[in-house]
Every structure is written in structure tokens, then in C-alpha cells.
């Protein structure tokens, strides 16, 4: 067994906001005598983007604050101190490295444009003697086991999935040890409040389908509830296209998006459920959806910034428009389509929308209104509690006909409403105006 060198490690948390199954935390514990952790609420993520939307609006900001509060406590339980700042990483991390004589930095590997810029800005401020270790830690199927060349990733999901399921095994979870109490340091930093991030406090809407808190503890509680308490996982495939309530789908996505829950943790808990109770189409379908999530990450690795380009990964030269009135009509749920409207009002009021709703409103935006799909994607980025860069832009490209859909389909939103909201229950919740 390799002996620890006498060094101090810094864990730079990004979208890996958990203590269970965390590669950066595991490596730091294994290789360092002393460990400090840091999370930066990067002001860049709260700025207005090129389309006029705040990159992170109030719903995800609140969820993030709750997540970091929980992470701070869970790290403290391992005797690791989490420093938190409302500053850019490139302005703060080098100061921490100087103050605590950091030898190594451990972080999750990111590859999309903005994250790469932040990486490079941060690295440029550091001494060359600091070892910088990045891990792909947001996958179900780890890139090491999938491909040495991402250009070989298939452009059709089914080919990708079948090969993975046939040839690749899923790694075990990373196990974390508790550190000695002497590892902790005095911590004068605090997690910023909503108002310090520039938002007014707000109450969660009473009709939200996602009334949950951020953080690893809440994620594990939901996982345990969905699998072992309610056993709803056994019916997932039948209910996943639902629109109303907390149990029609897993609701794991917000915790997956900021990494307070890992895909591997879900996978191995489903395997435990299957061993104890039953294995059926529904238990498999949750894993199937996790493979879709992986797929969009691999497409992003393969095509890099093309996922943000108007022509998408297909370089399709469609004519898109950017009529502001049409965009606002869609955002405010004031289109001619009441099913689209109900879903858009739900998003505006709660920061959540069902998978079925997302496909319909995105198709309506791109295929009916013929609006630049990147504007819709940017609005989702701002509003969704479970925004994930790869899934968001992958799905928007797919629906807009510039991504991985070989059939380039258009949703008939009225037929969809008849099929999935036949009794108008969902539309009544979000469209009916009441006095009290």
C-alpha cells in the first residue's frame, strides 16, 4: 500500500456535492495527511447571459444553498472543513493554496466551454508545483472503460446503449474514510444567503411536483423512499410520463445535476432492490434513463462546443427566428396551446417541469414557433432546478432536429395533452385562476 506523503490537499467541489461515492474526496483522503475543501459560488453563474436570462435563477440558487449547507455538515462529520465563498474560483483558490501550503488539488473533471475557461483561469494563478487531479465523476459508465477516443461514440443512442450493456461493467462506489479530528481548521467563512446572491426570499409553491430540499441527505432519503419504502420504482415505466404529484417519476434529477447523488449510487441501490424484491421492466428503465444521461455527456465530449451552436452537432442550416414577443408569450404561458401554457407556468412558478412537459414545450418552441432553440435552452438553464448542461443542450438539440434524433420528429401537443392529461387535471392546476 502506498504511504501518504506529508502533504496538504484541497478538494475543489464543483458539481460533485456529496461525500458518498466521491472520487476527489477518496483520492484526497488516500494521498494526503491534511485535507481542506472549498466551494465557490461563482458570480459568473448569476450574471445575465447573451439571451437576457440570468444563468442561475432563484430556484436552483436556493437548491444549491441547501446543498452546500448539507455538504458542509457531512464533511464536518468526516472532519473535513469546507470553506465557502461568493467569489470566482480563479480569484480565491490561489489564496487558499498560499495560506495553507496546498500541494495537491482534487476536483471533478469538466469539459464544457465555461467550465474549461474557469479551469484555465484558476490553473494560471497556481504554482506549477501544485498537483492538479481531475476525475470524471459524474458518469454511470466511466469514460476509462468506454472509449480511448470519444470520436468513436455512436451518433445513435441505441447502438451506444447496447454496446455498453453487453461489454462494460459498472464500477463500485468510492469508499470514504473519516479523518482524524486534528484535520479540521478554523472556519470563518459562511454559506451566502439567497439575498446575498441577489434574490428575494420566496416560499415553495404549494402545487410543485418537487417540494424537496437540496443536499445529499435529502437525495439519499428520496432514493430510499422511492425504492424501499414506497417501492414506486417497481411501477416507474408505467408512471414516468405523469404530470401531477411527487411520485410519478423518481425526481432524482436535481440531486444528480449538482452531484449530491451519484448515478452509481442509484444503480447499486436498484441492484439491491432487485435482489431483495423484484427485477422488472420498471427497475431496468431507471437504469435506461441513467444511460441516456451518460449518452448526452459522451455526445458533449465528442462534439465539444458544437452542442451550443445553432446548427447543433448536425450543422443543420434551418431558418430560426428570435421574435421577442413570441418568446415572451411562450415563457409566460400565453400561447394558443393550453397544454404548453400549463407546463410553462409550472416551470415559471416552481423551477420544475415533467419530462413529458419539457419535450412538448421544446418542440412547440422550435417546430411550431420556429424560434432559435438555443434561446429555449438558455431559459431552461436559468429556471430548472435540475439543469444539467449536457442533458439540457442534448435534449434541446434532439427536439430541434439538430441533434441525435435520426427521425427529426415534431410533437403534436394537442394529441399529447389528450393522452397524458385527458382529465385536464394538470391543466386545471396551472391555468385556473382563483381568488383565494
What is each CA distance from 423 to 411, 418, 429, in whole angstroms? 20, 8, 12
Q: How far apart are CA 31 and CA 7, in angstroms?
A: 8
Q: What is the pLDDT of residue 1?
A: 39
Q: What is the pLDDT of residue 436?
A: 40
Domains along the chain with CATH numbers: 8-136 (3.40.50.620), 216-304 (1.25.40.80), 309-431 (1.10.579.10)
Supply the angle between the helices 389-400 and 373-383 in degrees, to the nearest 10.
Answer: 150
Burial class (CB in 10 A: 0-12, 13-18, 19+), 305: exposed
Could you report the per-residue pLDDT of 141-153, keeping only the tens digit for each?
999 999 999 999 9
pLDDT band at 406 (very low <50, low <70, confident <90, very high): low
pTM of the entire predicted model:
0.95
Q: How far apart are CA 133 and CA 351, in angstroms?
A: 34
- The answer to whether residue 99 scores a pLDDT higher than 70 is yes
In degrees and rounded to multiples of 5, residue 379 shows phi and psi of: -65, -45
Q: How far apart are CA 170 and CA 154, in angstroms?
A: 19
Collapsing DSSP states into helix, strand and coil, what is residue 310?
coil
Q: What is the pLDDT of residue 2?
A: 46
Q: How far apart are CA 337 and CA 413, in angstroms?
A: 8
Q: How far apart are CA 264 and CA 138, in angstroms?
A: 9
- Count of CB atoms situated within 10 Å of the CB of 139: 20
Q: How far apart are CA 223 and CA 238, in angstroms?
A: 18
Could you report the per-residue pLDDT of 201-220, keeping only the tens digit for each?
999 999 999 999 999 999 99
Cβ pair 347, 353 in contact under 8 A: yes
Could you report the per-residue pLDDT of 172-196, keeping only the tens digit for each?
988 888 888 888 899 999 999 999 9
Q: What is the pLDDT of residue 175?
A: 85
Could you report the per-residue pLDDT of 310-364, keeping only the tens digit for each?
999 999 989 999 999 999 999 999 999 999 999 999 999 999 999 999 999 999 9
Amino acid at each position: 500500500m502506498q504511504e501518504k506523503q506529508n502533504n496538504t490537499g484541497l478538494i475543489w467541489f464543483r458539481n460533485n456535492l456529496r461525500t458518498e461515492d466521491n472520487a476527489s474526496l477518496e483520492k484526497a483522503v488516500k494521498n494526503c495527511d491534511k485535507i481542506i475543501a472549498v466551494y465557490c459560488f461563482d458570480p459568473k453563474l448569476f450574471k445575465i447571459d447573451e439571451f437576457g436570462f440570468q444563468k442561475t435563477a432563484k430556484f436552483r440558487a436556493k437548491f444549491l444553498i441547501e446543498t452546500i449547507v448539507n455538504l458542509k455538515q457531512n464533511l464536518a462529520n468526516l472532519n473535513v472543513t469546507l470553506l465557502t465563498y461568493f467569489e470566482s474560483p480563479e480569484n480565491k483558490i490561489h489564496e487558499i493554496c498560499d495560506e495553507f501550503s496546498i500541494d495537491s488539488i482534487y476536483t471533478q473533471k469538466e469539459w464544457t466551454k465555461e467550465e474549461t475557461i474557469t479551469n484555465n483561469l484558476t490553473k494560471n494563478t497556481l504554482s506549477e508545483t501544485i498537483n492538479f487531479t481531475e476525475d470524471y465523476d459524474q458518469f454511470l459508465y466511466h469514460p476509462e472503460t468506454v472509449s480511448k477516443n470519444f470520436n468513436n461514440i455512436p451518433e445513435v443512442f441505441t447502438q451506444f446503449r447496447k454496446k455498453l450493456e453487453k461489454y462494460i461493467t459498472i464500477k463500485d462506489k468510492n469508499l470514504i474514510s473519516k479523518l482524524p479530528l486534528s484535520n479540521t481548521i478554523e472556519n470563518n467563512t459562511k454559506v451566502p444567503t439567497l439575498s446575498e446572491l441577489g434574490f428575494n426570499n420566496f416560499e415553495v409553491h404549494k402545487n410543485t411536483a418537487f417540494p424537496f430540499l437540496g443536499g445529499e441527505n435529502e437525495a439519499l432519503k428520496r432514493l430510499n423512499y422511492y425504492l424501499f419504502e414506497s417501492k414506486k420504482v417497481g411501477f416507474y415505466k408505467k408512471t414516468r410520463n405523469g404530470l401531477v404529484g411527487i411520485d410519478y417519476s423518481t425526481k432524482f434529477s436535481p440531486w444528480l445535476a449538482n452531484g449530491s447523488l451519484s448515478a452509481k449510487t442509484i444503480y447499486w441501490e436498484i441492484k439491491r432492490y432487485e435482489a431483495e424484491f423484484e427485477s422488472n421492466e420498471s427497475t431496468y428503465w431507471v437504469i435506461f434513463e441513467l444511460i441516456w444521461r451518460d449518452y448526452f455527456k459522451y455526445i458533449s465530449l465528442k462534439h465539444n462546443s458544437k452542442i451550443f451552436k445553432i446548427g447543433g452537432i448536425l450543422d443543420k442550416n434551418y431558418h430560426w427566428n428570435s421574435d421577442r414577443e413570441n418568446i415572451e408569450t411562450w415563457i409566460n404561458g400565453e400561447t394558443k396551446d393550453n397544454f404548453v401554457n400549463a407546463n410553462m407556468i409550472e416551470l415559471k412558478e416552481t423551477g420544475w417541469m415533467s419530462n413529458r412537459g419539457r419535450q412538448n414545450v421544446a418542440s412547440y418552441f422550435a417546430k411550431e414557433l420556429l424560434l432559435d432553440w438555443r434561446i429555449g435552452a438558455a431559459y431552461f438553464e436559468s429556471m430548472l432546478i435540475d439543469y444539467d448542461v449536457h442533458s439540457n443542450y442534448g435534449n434541446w438539440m434532439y427536439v430541434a432536429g439538430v441533434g441525435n434524433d435520426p427521425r427529426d420528429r415534431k410533437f403534436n401537443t394537442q394529441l399529447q395533452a389528450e393522452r397524458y392529461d385527458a382529465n385536464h387535471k394538470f391543466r386545471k392546476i396551472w391555468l385556473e385562476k382563483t381568488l383565494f
